[in-house]
Amino acid sequence: MSSEQEKGIINKIKNNNWWISILLAIPIGILANVLTPAIQDKYSKYSENAAIKRIERIKTEYTAAKYYSENREEFSIYMSSVIIKMTMIGTITTIAVAFFTFAQSFINRLRKVKLNFTQWIYSVIILYVAISIYSIAREALREYDNVKNFKEYEKMILKEFE
């Protein structure tokens, strides 16, 4: 086969690919138009579900803030429990990291080889605990702000749901 014949075959393939693209574009366009309403319906249901969940979350937060603003002693107990929970998580993490450090040191001495497989374990544990403590503290501070400024918080909630 000569190079001119090869070029001719390549040109025919290129031309055929162009027509194939056009022929495939039409069914894909029709399919997209048929599926669009279904996708929009699913998205709107998702948005409705998200709105319902948001309203439920706000109602729960409001109920808790109202309760704690009327029962400051209970609020003190709640905040103390949050501090204890964060302390416990930090303590458990320290124990776990100490255990992995000891285990790594023991394994390295037995094998007389230095392996650093625990570094990624430390990182994952510490990151998880930091995120956990942060989310607990963030939630407690949000609750604290709602209780501390309950009148403003109540006005904001009532205005939002008017």
CB–CB of 115/23 below 8 Å? no
Question: Where along the chain do its domains lie?
Answer: 3-160
Query: Other C-beta atoms within 10 Å of 65: how many?
Result: 23
Q: Tell me: pLDDT of 14 over 60.
A: no
What is the band of 70 on the pLDDT scale with cuts at 50, 70, 90?
very high
The tokens for 24 are 């495939």
pLDDT of residue 23: 58
CB–CB of 122/97 below 8 Å? yes
**CB contact set of 98 (below 8 Å; sequence gap of 6+):** none
pLDDT of residue 17: 57
